[in-house]
Chain A
């Protein structure tokens, strides 16, 4: 079965681009434009990988990830890995992400090869 990936980013250009590419690569992709939408999706569906932006209005990406982890715990699902993609180089956020033990922390704009390598690493 194809792996399911959740892409969370408030910028529609970014989500469209990533989703398109991942689909071409044979993955099933859902996208969310905010933390709230992402959580709602995560309630319903089980994902194998989450790709999230950090800086988003109302709820930042790390918050969303925490909430999703909670949901998965409650629902007794396996935890998917998380890849953070961000355009903002803040040390604090980077540190926080490290502490949360995300699988990868990638800066936008990224080389697609680098991105795919991380994705494939997480899904094997």
Chain B
């Protein structure tokens, strides 16, 4: 009898699987109760299995007996360890301490009874086993206990499956199936122990059960069971055919083949094997794809929609339209409970809520950069699933996972998909639960990540576009403003030209009026007082008209034409200007005060032009005053020394702000509205003063007023 057979190998493999799994899982996380309890369970289960192996292969009776004890000692501890494991998985250890205690008491009782012959009667050779346990009636009791306790555990698992959330549900599914494997596989060994002729063929299941549970404990984002089953099923089916057909051929058809092909009959099955093995993988892949297409048909459909939406997005330039489109797409395809998009806002230095869909009223408007969630995501660079985080938080108490789980809760996020632009976290897409309660699959996450990145690009695109549009608007506005100013300038230039003609037109009738009035006054002898007064009024009024027209003409004359240059008294110029403006200023309640100690301030130049300058400055002074008060005074001071004549005009207006004062002599610079001032004044004044070889300076303080100082070289005789 070959001791090394399917059964003994299975026992050995099973033991190895248990030990390796237990140690590895404990190594991965020694603080979690799930991992700790699994280690204990694996230890006991593994020891049980290895004992069976040793018993099956050793020829030594005494060794076999010893290991029989070890086997059942472990078996007695398995129920309580399993229960502990189940409670740990359900995070219910603290609430079920009494149950564990009961189970432990049961185990202790059985342990104490183990040495009795009523438990293990003997070890003998049975079937293909060198030694196998032979059990008595106490053991039957034990089997009952063994059946009840783990069954209770399994039932607990299945009952709470629905309440723990989708990711946990998957985990529980895996563990339940694995537990079944384990107990069926392990339980099948009891038959022979009671001399029931049932060989433990199902023992192979026992080998797989630790692997499944390891997978369930350590791996996040478990594939849905149906996907696993499909894949495994197809794989098994294909390879069963690849290996099975030639095998069948060898076992059943051997004689027929020998008859057919003679001594080299084995070539036929070999060829068949090679052929099938070659096409096997292709068939597998093909069947797999089809199966998945059917299984995941619904999911695939929306993934396609999302992919094409992603391409569409970059075409939308308007930010508002873009966010609308994004959420419409998401809403229609995935049917999430709610969604929100946060984007990095540089001025605020945080992530602000840009837009959303079916959002809760208390969806936070901002995520600070210092939020632990942000740091975590920036390092991880992958989507976050809340259940996963919750699980990690449960299994690792006291770590940052707890904070992150809380943050996700606060953000009402079941799934957070980050997107990066040039290695920098740019946007966070937050999704609620999928309608129908499905979990997010790994494929989903891949598609969402792509979508999120596309969203980032599209948003950046739209933002840039908007920025450009704004700049273009600005420039256009500036151009329009300058154009208005140019139009004004041209108008005034035209007016200047017109002024000449108009002046001439007016001057002729004025001549007629003045001449006749003066003539009547001079010539008529017997004028009564009233007539005389009327005539005098006519005379004065006409003279005033003359002055006004004159000033109008000089004011709109083009500067820098060749002008007559001669010596004149600046004081005269100032007095004329003041008297010309006197009537206007009186209307405005603005007084002018002239301080000129001397009688003569000779300068060389053109007195019309100087008058233009003085008038301009006085008008500016008047405007400055009127801006801030109902009345005021303008002080004019004339002074001179040997070489220079100086006039300063001081107003008590609002003053000129520091940032503007450098520009006041620029042509077209004006602070007045369009139509009210052209801004030609001061720039022309400066050119006139330059022509006179003088200097014009402005000193101003906001709130205090302005002083304009003009220095002209004194004319030498």
Q: Which residues does A use to contact B, with CB under 8 Å?
A: 9, 11, 13-14, 16-18, 20-21, 24, 55, 85-91, 94-95, 107-113, 115
Check A21–B515 contact: CB distance below 8 A.
Answer: yes
B518: contacting residue among A9, A13, A89, A111, CB under 8 A: A111
Closest CB in chain A relative to B21 CB, distance in Å: 111
Interfacial chain B residues near A16, Cβ < 8 Å: 512
- Asked whether B509 is an interface residue with its Cβ less than 8 Å from the other chain, the reply is yes
**A116 (CB) vs chain B CBs: closest residue:** B522
- Asked whether B519 is an interface residue with its Cβ less than 8 Å from the other chain, the reply is yes
Interfacial chain B residues near A110, Cβ < 8 Å: 511, 514
Interfacial residues of chain B within 548-582, with CB under 8 A of chain A in the complex: 550, 553-554, 557, 561-564
Interfacial chain A residues near B516, Cβ < 8 Å: 17, 20
Expressed in whole angstroms, the Cα–Cα distance for A18 and B511 within the complex equals 9
- Asked whether B513 is an interface residue with its Cβ less than 8 Å from the other chain, the reply is yes
Interfacial chain B residues near A14, Cβ < 8 Å: 508, 511-512, 515
Expressed in whole angstroms, the Cα–Cα distance for A73 and B626 within the complex equals 63
Expressed in whole angstroms, the Cα–Cα distance for A86 and B510 within the complex equals 12
Check B514–A111 contact: CB distance below 8 A.
Answer: yes
- Known contacts being A87-B508, A88-B500, A91-B562, is A112 close to B550, with CB within 8 Å? no
- Known contacts being A11-B508, A87-B511, A88-B500, is A112 close to B518, with CB within 8 Å? yes
- Asked whether B402 is an interface residue with its Cβ less than 8 Å from the other chain, the reply is no
- Asked whether B507 is an interface residue with its Cβ less than 8 Å from the other chain, the reply is yes
Closest CB in chain A relative to B507 CB, distance in Å: 3
The winner among B504, B508, B514 for most chain A CB atoms within 10 A is B508
Give me 25 A-to-B residue pairs in the complex whose CB atoms sit less than 8 angstroms apart, sorted by A's number. A14-B511, A14-B515, A17-B515, A18-B515, A21-B523, A24-B523, A85-B511, A86-B504, A87-B505, A87-B508, A88-B500, A88-B504, A89-B500, A89-B503, A91-B561, A91-B562, A91-B563, A94-B564, A95-B564, A109-B507, A109-B514, A109-B546, A111-B543, A112-B514, A115-B515
Interfacial chain B residues near A91, Cβ < 8 Å: 561-564
Interfacial chain B residues near A94, Cβ < 8 Å: 564
Expressed in whole angstroms, the Cα–Cα distance for A18 and B508 within the complex equals 11
- Known contacts being A20-B519, A87-B504, A87-B511, is A109 close to B553, with CB within 8 Å? no
The winner among A17, A107, A113 for most chain B CB atoms within 10 A is A17
- Asked whether B542 is an interface residue with its Cβ less than 8 Å from the other chain, the reply is yes
**A54 (CB) vs chain B CBs: closest residue:** B504
Interfacial chain A residues near B553, Cβ < 8 Å: 89
- Asked whether B155 is an interface residue with its Cβ less than 8 Å from the other chain, the reply is no
Interfacial residues of chain B within 499-552, with CB under 8 A of chain A in the complex: 500-501, 503-516, 518-519, 522-523, 542-543, 545-546, 550
Expressed in whole angstroms, the Cα–Cα distance for A21 and B513 within the complex equals 12
Closest CB in chain A relative to B514 CB, distance in Å: 4
Interfacial chain A residues near B507, Cβ < 8 Å: 87-88, 107-109
Interfacial chain A residues near B519, Cβ < 8 Å: 17, 20-21, 24, 112
The winner among B501, B515, B519, B557 for most chain A CB atoms within 10 A is B515
Expressed in whole angstroms, the Cα–Cα distance for A104 and B542 within the complex equals 22
Closest CB in chain A relative to B23 CB, distance in Å: 111
Expressed in whole angstroms, the Cα–Cα distance for A111 and B517 within the complex equals 10
Expressed in whole angstroms, the Cα–Cα distance for A111 and B522 within the complex equals 12
Q: 5 tightest CB-CB pairs across the interface, nearest first?
A: A87-B507, A13-B512, A112-B518, A109-B510, A17-B515
Q: How large is the interface on B (under 10, 10 to 19, 20 to 34, 35 or more residues)?
A: 20 to 34
Check B554–A17 contact: CB distance below 8 A.
Answer: no
Interfacial chain A residues near B510, Cβ < 8 Å: 87, 108-109
Expressed in whole angstroms, the Cα–Cα distance for A27 and B561 within the complex equals 40
Interfacial chain A residues near B550, Cβ < 8 Å: 89, 107
Closest CB in chain A relative to B568 CB, distance in Å: 16
**B553 (CB) vs chain A CBs: closest residue:** A89
- Known contacts being A17-B512, A20-B519, A24-B523, is A109 close to B545, with CB within 8 Å? yes
Closest CB in chain B relative to A57 CB, distance in Å: 12
Expressed in whole angstroms, the Cα–Cα distance for A117 and B542 within the complex equals 20
Closest CB in chain B relative to A93 CB, distance in Å: 11
**B517 (CB) vs chain A CBs: closest residue:** A112
Expressed in whole angstroms, the Cα–Cα distance for A86 and B501 within the complex equals 12
Closest CB in chain A relative to B230 CB, distance in Å: 104
Expressed in whole angstroms, the Cα–Cα distance for A109 and B541 within the complex equals 12
Expressed in whole angstroms, the Cα–Cα distance for A89 and B555 within the complex equals 12
Expressed in whole angstroms, the Cα–Cα distance for A14 and B508 within the complex equals 6
Interfacial chain B residues near A89, Cβ < 8 Å: 500, 503, 550, 553-554, 557
Interfacial chain A residues near B514, Cβ < 8 Å: 109-112
Expressed in whole angstroms, the Cα–Cα distance for A28 and B29 within the complex equals 133
Interfacial chain A residues near B562, Cβ < 8 Å: 91, 95
Interfacial chain A residues near B504, Cβ < 8 Å: 55, 86-88
Check B564–A13 contact: CB distance below 8 A.
Answer: no
**B606 (CB) vs chain A CBs: closest residue:** A91
Interfacial residues of chain B within 252-278, with CB under 8 A of chain A in the complex: none
Check A87–B564 contact: CB distance below 8 A.
Answer: no
Expressed in whole angstroms, the Cα–Cα distance for A111 and B561 within the complex equals 28
Interfacial chain B residues near A86, Cβ < 8 Å: 504
Closest CB in chain B relative to A52 CB, distance in Å: 14
Closest CB in chain B relative to A17 CB, distance in Å: 4
Interfacial chain A residues near B505, Cβ < 8 Å: 87
Expressed in whole angstroms, the Cα–Cα distance for A14 and B513 within the complex equals 9
Check B500–A109 contact: CB distance below 8 A.
Answer: no
Closest CB in chain B relative to A25 CB, distance in Å: 9
Check B503–A13 contact: CB distance below 8 A.
Answer: no
- Known contacts being A55-B504, A91-B562, A91-B563, is A109 close to B513, with CB within 8 Å? yes
Expressed in whole angstroms, the Cα–Cα distance for A108 and B543 within the complex equals 10
Expressed in whole angstroms, the Cα–Cα distance for A85 and B503 within the complex equals 14
8 new A-B contacts, CB < 8 A, other than A24-B519, A95-B564, are: A9-B508, A14-B512, A21-B523, A87-B503, A87-B510, A87-B511, A94-B564, A109-B542
Expressed in whole angstroms, the Cα–Cα distance for A88 and B509 within the complex equals 13
Closest CB in chain B relative to A60 CB, distance in Å: 12
Interfacial chain B residues near A90, Cβ < 8 Å: 500
Expressed in whole angstroms, the Cα–Cα distance for A43 and B554 within the complex equals 38
**A24 (CB) vs chain B CBs: closest residue:** B523
Interfacial chain A residues near B564, Cβ < 8 Å: 91, 94-95
Closest CB in chain B relative to A82 CB, distance in Å: 18
Interfacial chain A residues near B542, Cβ < 8 Å: 109
Closest CB in chain B relative to A31 CB, distance in Å: 13
Closest CB in chain B relative to A5 CB, distance in Å: 14
Closest CB in chain B relative to A47 CB, distance in Å: 20
Interfacial chain A residues near B557, Cβ < 8 Å: 89
Closest CB in chain B relative to A96 CB, distance in Å: 12
Check A109–B511 contact: CB distance below 8 A.
Answer: yes
Expressed in whole angstroms, the Cα–Cα distance for A89 and B510 within the complex equals 15
Expressed in whole angstroms, the Cα–Cα distance for A94 and B557 within the complex equals 14
Closest CB in chain A relative to B613 CB, distance in Å: 17
